[in-house]
Structure 1
């Protein structure tokens, strides 16, 4: 009886393999925390030897930094997708605020808490966190500036309004690890109310379903 020859396993290109490693590390960072991202764990997830991971990333610190940058970038793109750039600024901001409060993005809040804590002791991560914060400020400020240009928003300081909104989001994210024992209705509308106040909007205008 003649056995059917196995098809040779497709060999990934270096770029494909590196992207796969980074994608896996970013997922693990969101699911388990940055401090759990090790070459050994990523190798186990991919079913490869740890030496393959170190071939593409010289150190665990470098892998951790790039994993955080990838995770933060992907989540930011999901919160403010380029495909919605043509929407009215108020609608874009409303959707952003609604998404940021969804349970789907709870891990993102935990990831930022995690990264900022670890960044105190890891200079490379501190640099990457700062870079990602700057990108988020630029993206959100551009939405606010467009809203001012179209007359949807009223503020003399778009960047300042952006910073206040992001600080409100970060403050709310500080509850991301809570067990749910504390709750108050003000937390449900805190960020939207802050944005409405900063941008001269009527109460509730950023809380619709659009």
Structure 2
């Protein structure tokens, strides 16, 4: 429940309250990391007790899972119902980095939690491992498609190239977070991909 002007207490719909907790947890984890953030801090930010937060999420780890699922759903929505193939998918990656420049909170959350997840028994370790495996598979498949379509040379190694592309994107995000004006993530990502595959990418779709 929250207070409106005059002190009246108003009960928030469960879905609305749950969404508020997730947004607040996302911001808190992005600022402080999972290990340093506490349920008490998140509860205080949304005007609840710890028990109140645990009414919606069974544990701090469960809250983290909800935050990661929320972040993941954003990327899925951007991808749309039909995934682009070949070089069009690599163009999609470039445009994703361009959009990320307008959502620092999500980028910071991902970067902080990804770094933390390499520690022993971190609750997000499996999520990040699965996500990297899935992303690498998507990029490698796009390169295989591009090779089959004659868009890139037959000797482009999809496995190694996909790893370099993903590592480049992650590294650029870190540089951008540390010094936002120092790098154009989209431009640098495109330059790296073009150098790796030896072909220009198709132009971005106009909306």
Q: TM-score w.r.t. structure 2 length?
A: 0.70
Q: Tell me the CA shift for residue 51 of structure 1.
A: 0.8
- The structure-2 alpha-carbon separation of the partners of 1:188 and 1:139, relative to structure 1 and needing over 3 Å to count, comes to closer
8 Å Cα contact 1:21/1:42 also seen in 2: no
Give 2:90's aligned residue: 93
Match of 2:201 among 191, 200, 206: 206
Q: Tell me the CA shift for residue 199 of structure 1.
A: 2.4
Q: Counterparts of 2:119 and 2:20 in 1: how far apart (Å)?
A: 24
Show structure 2 runs of 5+ residues with no match.
1-9
Q: Tell me the CA shift for residue 175 of structure 1.
A: 0.8
Give the aligned length.
192
Deviations 1:31-54 (A, max 9, x none): 635336543344345444321322
- The structure-2 alpha-carbon separation of the partners of 1:10 and 1:21, relative to structure 1 and needing over 3 Å to count, comes to closer
Deviations 1:56-109 (A, max 9, x none): 434323422x14522441343255x13352x45323321321331341244443
Give 1:195's aligned residue: 193
Q: Tell me the CA shift for residue 169 of structure 1.
A: 0.9
Q: TM-score w.r.t. structure 1 length?
A: 0.69
Where relative contact order (Cα < 8 A, 6+ residues apart) is larger, the structure is 2
Q: Counterparts of 1:165 and 1:143 in 2: how far apart (Å)?
A: 12
Show structure 1 runs of 5+ residues with no match.
1-7
8 Å Cα contact 1:89/1:146 also seen in 2: yes
Q: Tell me the CA shift for residue 165 of structure 1.
A: 0.4
